[in-house]
Structure formats: C-alpha cells, structure tokens
C-alpha cells in the first residue's frame, strides 16, 4: 500500500510569488491535514480537509489556502510569499472517522523563499 | 489552553541503553489522545505509539512504551535497548475533542555507538 506522497520535494521561490503544494493520501483515506514546520515555531496545524470540505482550520492568514478533490488528493496554496513562509510543509492522511485517529505523514515539501 | 511541553531539546544515549523522553500536556478536555512520532532526517513523521485518555494500561509497541500518568498529565516515551537507527527527532502530540492535533517542540535523540 503506497504511503502519503507529497510533491514537489523541494521548492525555491521569491518573495511575492505564489506556490502550490500537492498531497496524495493513502488509498481509502478521506482526511488530509497540512502542517508547517519551522525551527522556531515547531509543527503548526494549517487546516484539514475531509470529503472536499475544510473541516478544521489553524491560525494562519488567508494567504494560506487549500482544497481537496473528489479522489481525496489535496493541494495547498500560499500566495504573496514572505520570507517567513520558508518551512517544511507536511501533509498527513487518515480515514477521517474521528476519535483520535493515527495520522500518516508524507516526507514533506521543503519550501525556501528568497 | 491546550499545550504540549517537551523539556529536553537534545539527548545523548549509549547504544543498547533504555531512554525516556519526557512529555507533559495541558488540556481541560476529558477525552483526548496522545501520540509519539519520530522524524528522521528524511523529514517524514513516523507514528510510534498512541495512548487514549481513558486507556487504563500503558500502551506498548515493540521497543516503545508510553508511561502514562494521567494525574500528572505526563506521557513519557520509553525506548528500550536503543539502536543507532533511533537517532532522530521525537515529537509528542495531543489530539483533542475538536480533532485538532498539537505538537511539542520535539527532542533530538542521538544514539552513540
């Protein structure tokens, strides 16, 4: 069974640009959540999608958005990039039935904003 | 407010020794779940072990066990017979009733040969 796949693995962008990251969950998983990891702030929850609907949201500005497709694949978009957006972006998938489910993570996309 | 605290930024342990990674949490919820994840240098977060707030017995998964002390709000990870491949970042995490998961800052574990 294939794991969670994130693409691309690395990205380099400049300030003001926008970026789209992709996440393919484990087959059968309907929930996809996104996290930002930085050395200073650690791992922070961005949002969670279930059945194409955003079900949970963290405390990030509106420049961070996402969506989920009917096949459960998810994309995350960051517009008007800032230097502080440089981070490892991790996505995780789960069945989505709730109740303290185990999350399966991808290897992440390392975003560098210059 | 919900919070996870890992007080050990880094640890050095001799191979084959047991190691305990500390985690304390703060929540007003009665129902919650506690997780430990391992993050090697590749970046992927690997699930290690889970403990539910109503579980009476400590969780165990192979060489990993979770020392759950509910009254003290503590969920320490114990790794028995450490191996070189255990060198990684370890994160304690909590999922609350809103199904949001929060992570601690992590502990970097170095296993020495």
Interface check for B9 against chain A (CB to CB < 8 A): the answer is: no
Range 54-93 of B in CB contact (< 8 A) with A: 91, 93
DSSP secondary structure letter of residue B53: T
A56, B98: Cβ pair inside 8 Å?
A: yes
The answer, yes or no, to whether residue A88 has pLDDT greater than 90, is yes
Closest by CA position to A6, among listed A93, A67, A100: A93
Which residues in chain B are closer than 8 Å to A104, comparing Cβ atoms? 47
Nearest partner of B50 among B63, B38, B41, B61, judged by Cα = B61
Distance CA B113, CA A91 (A): 33
Number of other CB atoms surrounding residue A18 within 10 Å: 11
Inter-chain CB proximity B47 and A48 less than 8 Å: no
Q: Return d(Cα A97, Cα B46) in angstroms, integer.
A: 20
Question: Which residues are CB-neighbours of A65 under 8 A, at least 6 positions away?
Answer: A76, A77, A78, A79
Alpha-carbon A96 to chain mean position: 16
How does pLDDT run along chain B (113 residues), one tens digit per residue?
789 999 999 999 999 999 999 999 999 888 899 999 999 998 889 999 999 999 889 999 999 999 999 999 999 999 999 999 999 999 999 987 777 788 999 999 999 99
CB B36 within 8 A of CB B64: yes
Q: In this complex, is the C-beta atom of B50 within 8 Å of any C-beta atom belonging to chain A?
A: yes
CA nearest to B106 within chain A: A42
B100 and A56: CB-CB below 8 Å? Answer: yes
B99 closest CB neighbour out of A88, A98, A110: A98
- Residue A1 above 70 pLDDT? no
Q: Answer for the pair A106, A3: CB distance below 8 angstroms, yes or no.
A: yes
- Please provide the average confidence, as pLDDT, over all residues in chain A: 93
- Using CA coordinates, name the residue in chain A closest to B33: A100
Contact list in B for residue A48 (CB cut-off 8 A) is 99-100
Hey, are the CB atoms on B43 and A88 less than 8 Å from each other?
yes
Considering only CA atoms, which of A24, A19, A5 is closest in space to residue A112? Answer: A19
Would you give the end-to-end CA distance of chain A in angstroms? 37
Report pLDDT digits (tens) over A54-71.
Answer: 998 999 999 999 999 999
């Amino acid at each position: 069974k294939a794991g969670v796949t994130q693409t691309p693995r690395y990205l380099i962008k400049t300030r003001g640009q926008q970026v789209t990251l992709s996440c393919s969950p484990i087959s059968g998983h309907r929930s996809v959540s996104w996290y930002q990891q930085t050395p200073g702030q650690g791992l922070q929850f961005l949002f969670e999608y279930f059945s194409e609907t955003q079900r949970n949201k963290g405390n990030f500005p509106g420049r961070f958005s996402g969506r989920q497709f009917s096949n459960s694949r998810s994309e995350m978009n960051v517009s008007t990039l800032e230097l502080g957006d440089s981070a490892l972006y991790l996505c995780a998938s789960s069945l989505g039935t709730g109740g303290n489910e185990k999350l399966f993570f991808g290897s992440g996309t390392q975003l560098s904003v210059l | 407010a919900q919070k996870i605290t890992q007080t050990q930024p880094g640890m050095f342990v001799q191979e084959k020794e047991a190691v305990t990674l500390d985690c304390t949490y703060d929540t007003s919820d009665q129902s919650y779940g506690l997780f430990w994840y391992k993050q090697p240098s590749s970046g992927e977060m690997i699930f290690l072990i889970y403990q539910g707030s109503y579980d009476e017995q400590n969780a165990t998964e192979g060489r990993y066990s979770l020392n759950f002390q509910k009254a003290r709000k503590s969920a320490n990870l114990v790794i028995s017979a450490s191996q070189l491949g255990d060198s990684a970042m370890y994160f304690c995490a909590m999922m609350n009733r809103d199904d949001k998961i929060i992570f601690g800052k992590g502990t970097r574990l170095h296993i020495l040969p």
